Amino acid sequence: MASPLLLVYVAATLCLPLVYPAGVFELKIHSFSTPRPACAAGKSCNIFFRVCLKHAQPVVSPDPPCTFGSAVSDILPSDSKAITDSSPIRVPFHFKWPGIFSLIIESWTTNSAEQSTENPDNLLSRLATRRRLSIGEDWSQDIHLGQQSELRYSYHVSCDEHYYGDSCSDYCRPRDDNFGHYTCDEQGNRLCMSGWKGEYCAEPICLPGCSESHGFCELPGECKCRMGWQGELCDECLRYPGCQHGSCSQPWECICQEGWGGLFCNQDLNYCTNHQPCRNGASCINIGQGSYSCSCRAGFTGTNCEIDINECASNPCKNGGSCNDLENDYECVCPRGFYGKNCDISAMTCEDGPCFNGGTCIEKSSGVGYVCRCPFNYHGSNCEKKIDRCTNSPCLNGGQCLDMGRNVLCKCRPGFSGPRCELNIDDCASSPCANGGTCVDAVNSYTCSCTLGYGGKDCTLRVDACSSKPCKNGGTCYTHFTGNVCQCPTGFMGTSCEFRVHDPTPASHRADSSNTLTMVVCLGLLTFFLLGCGVFMVMRGMRRGHFNEKGRVNNDLEPKNNLIEKEPHFKMPNPDYLREKSSSKQKLLQGSESEEERSGRRTDRKPDTKQCNPTSRYPEDGAYHPIYILPEPEQCIFATEV
C-alpha cells in the first residue's frame, strides 16, 4: 500500500508549480521573560515562538489568515540562553514588499515535539502591532513590555538572490548564454559583458569599422559579410561573376574600365581612348559595342558634357544685379546701393534713382527701402529685366517660339499645326493607301498596311506571297488570304516545313502495337456485348408482340358504322336489339364474303375465308359501343371500344 501512495505523492509534487520568493522577513528573539511559569510544577517543558505577517490593519487582529505568511521557531528550552542563541525566524514572501505590515508574535509552551497552537491554554504571550520597514540589511531593534511578559527582538527584510529594488520586484539574474551576456549591479541593473550590447546584452559588438548595412556578427569582434559583399570590413562589393576588367559600386555589377566593354568587360573597346568624346574634363567609360558614357564634372551636363550648366538661369541676383555664369558657380555684379552674394542687401533710396527702363520709384511706408513700378514688358526689383514670353516654352511638339511683344507666335514643325502647334496633321485624310490598304498616321508621314498581294509605300505594287519561297525542305507554297501556306512533304512539319518528324523507335513502336492490340480487343468485346443486348431486346419485343396479337388488336382507324356511313356510333338499347343487329350484320358479311369469292374466282385467287362472330364479344348490357371495321380482304375484325 505504501508504494502506490508514494508514486501519487511524487506525481503531485512534480505537477506543482515552482514558486520563487522575492525576499525574506527575518525576526530574531533576543530574550523572553514572564512571571508566569512556563511549565506545571514538577514538569519539564519547552517553548516556541510563532510569527505571523499580515497586511496593514488599523486594528491588528490576531485571527487568521496570515496574508503575508507565517513561521514558527524551533522548540527551545525555557532557559534564556537557549532563546538568545536561537536562529532567526524566517518568513519568505513572493510579492512586492509593501513597507507597512501587521506583525503578530506569539510564545507557546509545549510538552511534546510538535509545535501545536490549538490549545489556547499553552499561549504564554501575544504581541500584535503595526510596523513600517524598508528593504535593507540593517536590523531594527524593538522591545515589547506586556502585563506579564517582556520580549526583546529585532527584525529586517532582505531581498532574495537576484531580486533588487525597494520592493524586491526588480529581477536580475546574471547569465552568459544565447539569451544574454550580463551581470547585475547593486541596484539590479544589467551590466553587459565585454563585447555585448542591447537591452538584454544579446547583441554582439562587431569588429570596429564593420559595415552595419553589409556586415553582421554572431560573436563579439566578428565581421561576417552579407551576400554580395566581401573584405575584412564587408565594404567591398562582389563583381558580376566572370567580370574581368571592371569594377562595381553595388553587388553583381561589372562597370568596365576605360577601353573595355561587353557583359564581362572582356571586349577591348577603345572608343574613349581613340575619340575622346567627353569634354570639359569629364570621365569617359566604355559600355560596350562602341558605346560610351560620360561622367560629367560639377557644372556640366549633356551626352558629352558639352553643356555648361547656367547657374544664372534661376536669376539668383536680386535688385537688378547682373549675373555672370562661372564654372559650377555664378557672380553677381550689383547696381549702386546693393551688395552681397545675390545683391540682396540694399542701401539705396528713391533719391538715388534705382529704377531702370522708366520705372517709377515709391518709398515704402516703413521708411526703409523702396519699390519700383515697372513699365510694360519689364520686371525685376529695379525694372532691369525685359519680359521674355518664350521662357515657359508655350509652343508644343518642338515648335519655335517668337516673342512679338504683347503675344507670342509659334512656328510649327512640318506635320503640326494650331496656335501652339498642338495638332498633328492627319496625313491619312487624303486616303493615300490604294487597293484596300489601311493607313496609319505618323508625324508628317504615314504608313500603309497593305492587303494580300499588294505592297509598296501606297500599296500600288503587285506582290506574290510565295515569291520569297518561304517553304523549306521541298514544301509547296500556296497563296492564302492571310498570306502564304506551305504544304509539307512527308517527314516535315511547321509553318515553313522547317521541322523534321522523327520516326518512332522500335521500343516505342512495340509499345504502340501493344496499346493498339489492347484497344482492338476492348472494342471487340464492347461490340459483342452491344450486339448481344440488341438481339436480346429484339427477341423480347417479338415475344411481347406475339402475346399482344393473341389478346387484342390495335389500330388507328376512324370509327365507322357498317350500316350507316354518316353516324360513327349507334346505340344498342337492350340485348334483344343487339342480337337482332348482330344477325343483320352477319348476313351482310356473308353477302360480302360471297361477292369476294366470286371476284376471287374471276382473278384466280384463293383467299382464306374466315367468319367473324362479333356478337360473342359484346357485353350483355344496355350500354352503347362504337364498332370499327377493318377493310382488309383477307380477314374481318370487329373492334369494340369500351
Q: 223: which 3 cell numbers?
A: 565581421
Whether 608 shows a pLDDT value over 70: the answer reads no
Distance CA 625, CA 423 (A): 97
Q: What pLDDT score does 288 carry?
A: 63
Q: What pLDDT score does 289 carry?
A: 67
Least confident of 70-74, 118-122, 271-275, 428-432: 271-275
Share the mean pLDDT of the chain.
78
Q: Which residues pair with 508 in a beta bridge?
A: none
Whether 14 shows a pLDDT value over 80: the answer reads no
Mean pLDDT across 349-360:
84
**What is the band of 544 on the pLDDT scale with cuts at 50, 70, 90?**
confident
Which residues, 6+ apart, have CB-to-CB distance to 534 below 8 Å? none
Least confident of 415-424, 443-452, 558-567: 558-567
**What is the band of 79 on the pLDDT scale with cuts at 50, 70, 90?**
confident
Q: What pLDDT score does 103 carry?
A: 93
Q: What pLDDT score does 12 carry?
A: 36
Mean pLDDT across 175-183:
91
Q: What pLDDT score does 44 carry?
A: 65
Q: 501: which 3 cell numbers?
A: 518528324
How many percent of the chain have pLDDT more than 90? 27
Q: Tell me the per-residue pLDDT of 294-316, one tens digit each, with 9 for 90 and over.
A: 999 888 899 999 888 888 988 88
Q: What pLDDT score does 543 carry?
A: 82
Q: 630: which 3 cell numbers?
A: 377493318
Distance CA 588, CA 563 (A): 9
Q: What pLDDT score does 191 carry?
A: 92
Mean pLDDT across 198-203:
91
Q: Comparing 259 with 455, which gets the higher pLDDT?
A: 455
Least confident of 25-34, 204-213, 343-352, 375-384: 343-352
* Cα–Cα distances in angstroms (integers) from residue 539 to residues 203, 333, 532, 545, 554, in the given order: 94, 123, 11, 10, 21
Instruction: Give the E-state strand segments of 234-344 in sequence order.
Output: 236-237, 246-247, 255-256, 260-261, 267-268, 283-288, 291-295, 300-301, 307-308, 322-326, 329-333, 338-339
Q: What pLDDT score does 412 carry?
A: 93
What DSSP designation does 113 have?
A: S
Whether 325 shows a pLDDT value over 80: the answer reads yes
Mean pLDDT across 354-368:
82
Q: Tell me the per-residue pLDDT of 214-270, one tens digit each, with 9 for 90 and over.
A: 999 999 999 999 999 999 999 999 999 999 989 999 999 999 887 777 888 887 777
Whether 570 shows a pLDDT value over 50: the answer reads no
Q: What pLDDT score does 484 carry?
A: 79
Q: What pLDDT score does 612 carry?
A: 41
* Residue-level length of the chain: 642
Whether 367 shows a pLDDT value over 80: the answer reads no
**What is the band of 545 on the pLDDT scale with cuts at 50, 70, 90?**
low
Distance CA 47, CA 110 (A): 6
Instruction: Give the E-state strand segments of 221-373 in sequence order.
Output: 224-225, 229-230, 236-237, 246-247, 255-256, 260-261, 267-268, 283-288, 291-295, 300-301, 307-308, 322-326, 329-333, 338-339, 345-346, 360-363, 370-373
**Domains of the chain: residue spans and CATH:** 14-164 (2.60.40.3510), 239-301 (2.10.25), 310-386 (2.10.25.10), 464-501 (2.10.25.10), 575-603+611-640 (no CATH)
Cite the DSSP H helix spans in 444-488. Answer: none
Q: Tell me the per-residue pLDDT of 578-604, one tens digit each, with 9 for 90 and over.
A: 454 445 444 444 444 444 444 444 444
pTM score > 0.75 for this model?
no
